Structure 1
Amino acid sequence: MLKIILLWYKTVAAKAATEVLTPNFEDIEIKAILKGYWLRYNALKREIKKEPTFGGTLMVHLAAMSTAFYQELTQRGISNAKTTKYFYDIAWKVYKIMGKLSWNITRLKYQSNAKRLKYATELFRAFPFSSPSYKWENILQPDSSVCFNCTKCPVAEYFETKGLSEFCVNTWCALDFPLAEMWNAKLERTNSIAGGAKLCDFKWKPNN
């Protein structure tokens, strides 16, 4: 199953990367970048340890793919800032597919925006951000906000081993904010594990 999902991701990511890179790269160079990134990932994946959950293992593999893309572009002399921006744009094209699927599923069960938001975050924490690979703490609120902390993130841990915590903050972590907008909400977060904090604090506030 893992191989099938990763091959799907490779296909979707390649399409997204082509769309994002085309304005600034020739077709032959884009193909070389995609080939190089996949070779780097195949080298990196040998050191990945299996997580307690399938979702956790999948996320670490995607972090390794992200690392491979970063390495491929920066080795070609592309700046950290440009590489980060390219990856953010590519990753969002893929991430929003997951986000739309979860949001559409919530419509089958709830009509209330607040209830849909709570259910969508529960779906994501069930898979792929599942315990115990990820550790979550729910925080009760007096209003319709959905609050919880993440106290363990295998993706943040992986990027730290590669010296790419800042890259993680500006890409993986940053994608949660447009995801919240897709879910008709606003996300407030003051800390992240990748940013050096002990936990990531999430407060999702549904739009009325």
Structure 2
Amino acid sequence: MSLQNKKMSLLNRTFIGVCKTAFKPIFRRSARQVLKGRLLDLEEPERGRWLESDVKEYLKQTWARSDLLLPISELDQLPSYGNRLTVYLAIITTAAYQEMVARAVPADYAKTLVGDLGWKVYSWMLTTVSVPFRVTSRDPGRRMERVLRALMVFPFSAPGAPGYEVKVWTEGSNTYTHWTHCPPQTFVRRVIELNGDQGELDAFFKSWCLYDWPGADVLANDGQHGHYTRLNTLSRGDSVCDMCWHGCAKSGKERT
């Protein structure tokens, strides 16, 4: 089944064009940093390593796949440009994974490579967003709360499904974000429903859903690990992503 004949509004087409122009150099830099010199296949090292030409062709085909996935995203149904932005990023990472598989990269290794590539982009975005809050507060808990609440305005504004749906509150140095609807993972599920399962949802989990742990450490910026816990995850079939962002770093036992 295909939705490629479904047309987006002019405003959304323009918005996506701007996003694509902005993110192309960011993903190109990240792909070069992550992929160049890596083995093409961990199990068959004799296949060689990623060359500059491999990276260029990979990016070219990833953007082409992104264009093909775009109609499935149903961006016109989303309530805000912030929500559309996050879904567009999910389109790119899904296309990046699919292109890895198409290049005969083993699925598990493809998930690792795409996760590493996406983390470069995500960590840069988190660092950029958090800079003003690092200037205004030295307290990790206060800083994290302020950044998270700013992100709830853009891009994670949450008027409810089909957009984000979340409850946010703070207790002491901890900020809680309990999500019951996530447009990017809904998009990935729709891709699988329409086109078949190549492991896209697991790739989404092993990138997007695992970024929160190191992402919390980036936001806290206190040189420690252990600023995040989550017991349930929407992309794993649970009814909620029950996130807790710890202003004070927790040990392994304290995080369970």
Structures share fold, TM-score greater than 0.5: yes
SS in 1 for 2:79: coil
Q: Contact 1:139–1:149 at 8 Å: present in 2 too?
A: no
DSSP-derived class of the 1:201 partner: strand
Q: Which residue of 1 aligns with 2:230?
A: 189
CA contact (8 A) 2:141 2:247 kept: yes
1:119 maps onto 2:146 in alignment: yes
Aligned counterpart, 1:135: 165
Q: Which runs of 4+ in 1 moved over 3 A?
A: none
Deviations 1:80-127 (A, max 9, x none): 111111111111111111111222121343332221110011122211
Partner of 2:71: 46
Structure 2 contact 87–183 (Cα < 8 Å) conserved: yes
Deviation at 1:3, TM superposition (A): 2.3
Residue number in structure 2 paired with 1:147: 176
Paired residue type of 2:215: L
Task: Give the distance between the partners of 1:162 and 1:47, measured in 2 at CA.
Answer: 7
> Could you tell me the TM-score, scaled by structure 1's length?
0.93
Q: Kindly state the Cα deviation for residue 139 of structure 1 after the two structures are TM-superposed.
A: 4.1
Partner of 2:127: 100
Gaps of 5+ in 2: 1-14, 38-48, 193-199, 221-225, 250-256
Alpha carbons 2:83, 2:157 under 8 Å: kept: yes
Distance 1:174 1:205 in 2: 16
The aligned residue for residue 29 of structure 1 is: 54
Distance 1:109 1:94 in 2: 25
> TM-score by structure 2 length?
0.76
Contact 1:139/1:148, CA 8 A, preserved across alignment:
yes
How many residue pairs end up in the alignment? Answer: 207
CA RMSD of aligned residues (A): 1.6
Q: Percent identity?
A: 25
